[in-house]
Structure 1
Amino acid sequence: MFSLRTLLFTPGNDSRKGEKAFTTGADAVILDLEDAVAPSQKEAARLTIRQTLGRPRPVPVFVRTNSAQSPHILHDLQAVVDLPLQGLMLAKAESAEDVCRVDWLLGLLEQEHGLPVGGIKLIPFVESARGIARAEEIAAAPRVFCLAFGGNDYAMDLGVSFSPEGDELFYARCRLVVASRSAGIDPPLDTVNPDFRDIPALAADARRAQKLGFQGKLVIHPAQVAPVNEVFTPCAEEISWAQKVVEAFARAEAAGSGVIQVEGRMVELPIVRRAEKLLAAARARKTPGKGNE
C-alpha cells in the first residue's frame, strides 16, 4: 500500500478527539472500538465513527475492531464495512483462524453491500505470546497487508515489565519483522509507547524499531507524532548516499559490471534495491530530509 510512519489512536466515541487527530500530522488515524471504549459505549462509538467518516478526511483512516473472539465483532464489522476506510485493525489476533473468521464475515457483508469481496484489508494486532508464536501463520492469512505489535499487552502476558529499554520486546519485534518478510507483506507497525511525556525515550524506542525493520509506530498522543515521523523519515545524509548508490550502479550496469564501490564501500544489488526503496519513500514524502514535513 504505502509507508506508514505514524498511526494515531483516538477513541471511537469521542468526536472532538477524532477531529483533532486529523490535524496532528499523523500518516493515519485509528478510530478505536476496542480498549478505548467501554462495553456500554460500543454502539454509541459505532454511530460516532459513522458520523466522523461522513465526509472526506485528509489522511487514511483505520478502525480497530474488537477481537474475532469477542461478541462485539459482528456488530463492529456491520457498522463499518461500507465506510471509506483504508482498512481494519483486528485486536488480539492470535491465529490465522481469527483472521479467517473475520475474512469470512467481511466477505458476506461485502456481498450484501455490493462491494468487491476482499477489498477491505486487515492489520492483525498481535499482542500476546500465543500471537507471537503464530506470527508466520497470521502474516500469511487472507487480507493481511501488515502486522501491528501490542507490546504493552504482550509484556503483561509474559508477566514482565514494559521497560524504557525494551529488552523484553526484542524477540517479539524480530519475530514480527521476519514473519512479515516471509509472507511478502508490508513491514510491521511497532507498539505504542505509553509515556507520552518522555519524548527522548519515545524517539529512542522508535529508532530501535526502525533499525529492526519496522515501517512505523503506533502513537496515542499528538505530541508523539512529530518525533516518530522524524525517526522514520530518511535524513538528508541517507538520501544523498542512496542517490550516489543508484547513480553509480546504473553507470556500472551500463558498462557490464554488477559490483561497484561507493566511497570505499562495496555495493551489490541488494544494497541498490534498498537505496531505491529509500529514495521512493523520500519522494512520496516530498521531503529532502528530516524536519521538513
Structure 2
Amino acid sequence: MIVNYSYLFVPGDRPERFDKAIKSGAHAVVIDLEDAVQPERKDAARANIAVWLENGGKAVIRINGADTPWYEDDIALLAHPGIRAVMLPKAEDPASLAAFISALPASLPVIALIETARGLWDIEKIVAIKGIKQLGFGSVDFQLDTGIEDENEGLLYARSQIVLASAMAGLAPPLDGVSVDIEDVAGLERDTARAKGLGFGGKLCIHPRQVEAVNQGFAPTAEAIAWAERIMSVADNTDIQGAIRLDGKMIDRPVIERARLLLKVDA
C-alpha cells in the first residue's frame, strides 16, 4: 500500500530547492504559491513551477485562494503535467469549493485545508463535495482565526472533527498541521505521535529536517507489525465465529481487521 506520511512545503520562488525537496525523503513535495511567496514574486514563482514541471518534475501545488488576484493564473498553471494534487487554502465555502473543483483543467485530486472557524463549522458539507481526496489542518491559521492559544488541548476538538468528517466521507485520513519550531525535535516527535493517535494519516512539514521524524512517527513500529502478524497467523487458521483467544486476551473482528490493515500499510 502506498502511504504518504510527510508533505514538505517548498516556496515556489525558490526553484533551486525543488529537486532538493524531492530528495529529502518526503512522501510528497508541496510547492507553495500562497503564504511562502510574497505578492511581487507570485508571477516568477508560477513561471519557475511551470518550467520545472515541463522538465519532468512532480509535486503537489498549493495555490492562492479564490478571493485573491492570483487565483485565476494559478488555475491556469494546473494544466501542466506532473501535478500530483492541488492543495486549496482556507477551504470554508462549500459552493466556492465546488465551483473551484469544476473549473479544474483536469481531474486533479484536491487536498482542502481547514484553516478557519467557518471551514470547521461547514466541514460536513465540504467533505461531501466530489473531487476532494483529503483534508489538511491549517492549525496556525486556525488559531489566528479563532483566538485559540493552546496548540494541544485547545485544538483537540478541531482535530477530532477533521478526522471524524474524513472517515464519514470515506476520504483518506487527513494531514495534521505544521510544527513551527524546526529546532525542537522532541516537540515534533510529540506532535507526530499526537496526530497519529488522533487518527491523522500524515503531517505537513516546513523543513527537510522534519521529514524523517514524521515518517518514522507514522510508520508502524516493529512491535506493532509483530503483533499484527501473530494475530493474522491465528486468524487465518481459525474459523472465526466470534472472537479468538491469543495470549490470554480475546481478539474480535475489529482487532483482526486493524491488524490486517496495518500489515497492508507495511507491505
TM-score (normalizing by structure 2): 0.95
Superposed displacement of residue 123, structure 1: 0.3
Q: Work out the CA distance in 2 between the residues paired with 1:277 and 1:21.
A: 29
Moved over 6 A (4+): none
Alignment match, 2:65: 67
Pairing partner for 2:87 from 71, 86, 89: 89
Unaligned runs of 5+ in 1: 111-118, 284-293
d(CA) in 1 for partners of 2:86 and 2:251? Answer: 39
Where does residue 3 of structure 1 map in the other structure? 3
Kept after mapping to 1: 8 A contact 2:28/2:60: yes
Name 1:124's counterpart in structure 2. Answer: 112
Q: CA deviation at 1:70?
A: 2.5
% identical equivalent positions: 37
Amino acid of the structure 2 residue aligned with 1:81: A
Contact 1:252 1:259 in 2 (8 A): no
Aligned to 1:145: 133
- What's the offset of the Cα at 1:14? 0.6
1:156 maps to 144
Q: Judge conservation of contact 1:252–1:258 (CA < 8 Å) in 2.
A: no
Match of 1:48 in 2: 48
Q: TM-score, normalised by structure 1?
A: 0.87
Instruction: State the shift of 1:63 in Å.
Output: 0.2
Q: Which residue of 1 aligns with 2:233?
A: 247
Secondary structure, aligned partner of 1:86: strand
The aligned counterpart of 1:115 is none
Q: Equivalent residue for 1:21?
A: 21
Counting strand residues as a fraction of each chain, which structure ranks higher? 2
Aligned length: 267
Q: Distance in 2 between matches of 1:219 and 1:30?
A: 9
- Residue 132 of structure 1 and its aligned partner are, at CA, apart by 1.1
* Residue identity in the other structure for 2:262: L
User: Paired residue for 2:218?
Assistant: 232
Inter-partner Cα distance in structure 1 for 2:213 and 2:150: 20
Q: Which one is further off, 243-252 or 124-133?
A: 243-252
State whether residues 50 and 83 of structure 1, in contact with CA within 8 Å, keep that contact through their aligned partners in structure 2: no
What does residue 102 of structure 2 align with?
104
- Secondary structure class of the residue paired with 1:187: strand
Letter in 1 for 2:62: R
> What is the rounded CA distance, in whole Å, between the counterparts of 1:96 and 1:267 in structure 2?
42
Offset at residue 175 of structure 1 (A): 0.2
1:82 counterpart letter in structure 2: H
- CA displacement at 1:141 relative to structure 2: 1.0
Q: For the residues of structure 1 that align with 2:55 and 2:265, how far apart are their CA atoms?
A: 28
Displacement after TM superposition at 1:133 (Å): 1.2
Structure 2 CA distance for aligned equivalents of residues 259 and 273 of structure 1: 12
1:114 aligned partner: none
Check whether the contact 2:148–2:155 (CA below 8 A) recurs between aligned residues: no
Q: Pairwise CA RMSD of aligned residues?
A: 1.5
Give the C-alpha shift of residue 266 in structure 1.
1.9
Q: CA offset at residue 55 of structure 1?
A: 3.0
Can you list the C-alpha shifts for 1:258-280, whole angstroms capped at 9, x where unaligned?
Answer: 31122222222221121111111
Partners in 1 of 2:64 and 2:150 — Cα distance? 23
Deviates more, 1:81-90 or 1:257-266: 257-266
CA–CA distance in structure 2, aligned partners of residues 141 and 97 of structure 1:
9
Distance (Å, rounded) in 1 between the aligned partners of 2:123 and 2:248: 39
- Of 244, 247, 254, the residue aligned with 1:270 is 254
**Cα offset for 1:162?**
5.2
Where 1:94 maps in the other structure, the secondary structure is coil
Indicate the residue corresponding to 2:124 in structure 1: 136
For the residues of structure 1 that align with 2:15 and 2:150, how far apart are their CA atoms?
A: 30
Moved more, 181-190 or 130-139: 130-139
Contact 1:129 1:158 in 2 (8 A): yes
* Cα separation, 1, equivalents of 2:150 and 2:82: 35
Verify: 1:195 aligned to 2:193, yes or no.
no
Q: Which runs of 5+ in 2 are unaligned?
A: none
- Partners of 2:150 and 2:10 in 1: CA distance: 22
Q: How does 1:173-188 map to 2 (within 5 A)?
A: 173-188=159-174
